[in-house]
Copies of this chain bind each other. A is one copy, B any other.
C-alpha cells in the first residue's frame, strides 16, 4: 500500500468507542454527532490535511448502541475505507441542494429513538464544523429528537490518553527536542526572525515531523511582545531573548512546547526571569497529583512566580494537548476540572517583565499516579546563550 494505514490497531479505536458509549449512557444520550477534525480522528483514525479546505462538512455518528457510522463526502471514501469503520455513507459533495444533511438525518433517525437526545460538542474548545444554515436544517428535520451539548461526554474520554497515545506524543516531543537542540545553528545576531522560523520548521521536518501546524515566537531585548505573531524581517540582535514555540505533528499527534535562547550574553534581568519560570515549573512538577484541580496547578505556577517577585501573565498557564495543539483543561483560577492519571498537559508559566515585554516557558508532561512524567526534555535551568 502506498497509503498510510491506521495509526493504531483497530482495538484502540474500539476501546474509545466503548468509552464514549459508556459516557453517553451515563449522560442519557442516544448518539454523538461529531464534526470537528480532532473528534473524527479520535473515533475513526481518519487522518488527512484535507480539513484545510472548508468546502465540505464531514460527520461521524457514534450511537449509544452499535459502532460508529461515517457520513462523509465521496472524496474521502477510500481513506475512510482504510480505517476501522465498516459503515461508511457518502454523498457527492459539494452539493448546493443538500450537502449531506438528508443523509445525516436518515442516519440519525435510524440510529436513535424518536424522542432521542443527540449530543453535539458545543462547549469550550469546540466548534461546529459545518455550515450553520445546514445545522439549523438538521435541527428542524430531526425533530422531535433534540440536539444537545455533548461536550461532557467527549471531553472526559479524550482527556485521558492511552499508553499508545502517550507513546505518540512522546515521539513528537523527542522530534521537537532534537529540532530545538539545533537552534544554536539556526539563530544568531543578524539573522532575520522570519529566516529562523523557516529553518526551525525545516529542522522539525528533518527530525521526523510529518508536518508543522504551529510555530510562533518572538525576539526582543529582555523578552518579547507577544507569543502569537508571525515572524517579521527584523534581524536578531545581541541582547535579544529569542523564544520559539512549536506544535509539530507526527501520526496526528501534537507536541506543544517552547524554548528560550539569549542572543549573545544573557542580561541579569532575562536570566532571573528564566530562573523564575524554571522554578515555577519545578514546583508544579514536584507537587502535581491526580485529584488536584486545574485551578490548583495555576496556583502552583503563579504562586511560585509571585514568590520570586514576578507578575504572572494573565490568562491560562497551561492546558491539555494531544490530537489538537491545545485541549481541555485550562490552568486558570476558574477551571475546576479534576486532574486524572493519563492526562497529557502543557505547563506554561509566563511573566511580564515590563509593560509589553514578556517571557514564557513550556514543558509537556503526562500525569501519573505519583505525579508528572516529562515528555519534553527538561529545558536547562540557566537561559542558554547563543554566542558568536
Contact = CB atoms under 8 A, between A and B. Distances in A.
Contact of A124 (B99, B194, B205, B214): B99
Contacts of A73: 315
Nearest to A252: B230
A220 interface: yes
Contacts of A11: none
Nearest to A149: B133
A110 to B, nearest CB: 24
Identical copies in the complex = 2
A79 B128 contact: no
Given A54-B324, A94-B330, A232 B5 contact: yes
B75 A226 contact: yes
A96 B55 CA distance: 31
A250 B228 CA distance: 17
Given A4-B229, A94-B332, A52 B247 contact: yes
Count class of interface residues, chain A: 35 or more
A122 B127 contact: no
A2 B193 contact: yes
A326 interface: yes
Contacts of A205: 198, 201-202, 205
A216 interface: yes
A356 B230 contact: no
Interface SS of A by simple majority: loop
A212 B210 contact: no
A47 B230 contact: yes
Interface in A184-227: 193-194, 197-198, 201-202, 205-206, 209-216, 218-220, 224-227
A213 B52 contact: yes
A370 interface: no
Nearest to A330: B94
A153 B81 CA distance: 38
A353 to B, nearest CB: 14
Interface in A104-162: 120-133, 135-136, 149, 151
Given A49-B213, A74-B315, A75-B228, 5 more contacts: A3-B226, A36-B54, A53-B324, A128-B128, A133-B149
For the complex of A and B, the 10 pairs showing the least CB-CB separation, nearest first, are: A4-B232, A122-B132, A50-B228, A78-B226, A122-B133, A53-B326, A52-B325, A2-B234, A52-B214, A3-B229
